[in-house]
Amino acid sequence: MRIAVASMNPVKLAAARQGFEQAFPDLVVNIHGNALVTDVPDQPIGDKQTYQGALARVNALHTQTPNADYWVGIEGGVQRTIDGSYDSFAWIIVQQGEQRSSSRTSTFPLPPRVCQYLDEGLELGDADDLVFGRSQSKQQNGAVGLLTADKITRTDLLSQSVFLALIPFQFPNLYAQE
């Protein structure tokens, strides 16, 4: 099974692999990362913009690599909470042929210093690197890994939602349009 992922980020590639291998344990999963240019902001803010980012990635990927069996777009975002801070999350969109499915990760709260950097226009990964004294944390354990002492890594968080987005492809009879 050839899976095209709209990213070269090793975390997103690993998450796609884990999600597909969990959903289809009897199949060989070949993951192919693709660097794409989209008009998605570096740091999507809000549910709608983050979902649109994942969708833009899938659409561009489908055009760029039409021979894949599945196309996967993963977009991380942040959203304001009622108290004015930020939560972090991601949208995952999986497409096979013309059928699409999506899933959203759990959300988790971001520390005030990270929120300040977001308000200043920094991307979450860059804000995390400054606050935690790291480099390229978004390509490693991510904010969730840093905040949970790697009890939940970014790969863990994303792979679960990749798996959940694959439910309609595992049970096509239940999700057939009537």
Is 141 inside any structural domain? Answer: no
Is 96 inside any structural domain? Answer: yes
DSSP state string for the chain:
-EEEES---HHHHHHHHHHHHHH-TTS--EEEE-----S--SS-BSHHHHHHHHHHHHHHHHHH-TT-SEEEEEEEEEEE-TTS-EEEEEEEEEEETTEEEEEEPPPEEPPHHHHHHHHTT--HHHHHHHHHT-SSGGGTTHHHHHHTTTSS-HHHHHHHHHHHHTHHHH-HHHH---
The domain total for the chain is 1
pLDDT one-digit tens code per residue, 124-170 = 989 999 998 888 777 778 889 899 999 999 999 999 999 999 999 99
Is 136 inside any structural domain? Answer: no
pLDDT one-digit tens code per residue, 46-68 = 999 999 999 999 999 999 999 99
Is 55 inside any structural domain? Answer: yes
Is 125 inside any structural domain? Answer: no
How does residue 25 score in pLDDT terms, banded at 50, 70 and 90?
Answer: very high
Is 135 inside any structural domain? Answer: no
Q: Is the overall model pTM greater than 0.85, yes or no?
A: yes
Q: The domain that contains 94 carries what CATH number?
A: 3.90.950.10
> For residue 61, what are the domain limits?
2-108+154-175
> What is residue 178's predicted lDDT score, i.e. its pLDDT?
65
> What is residue 141's predicted lDDT score, i.e. its pLDDT?
81
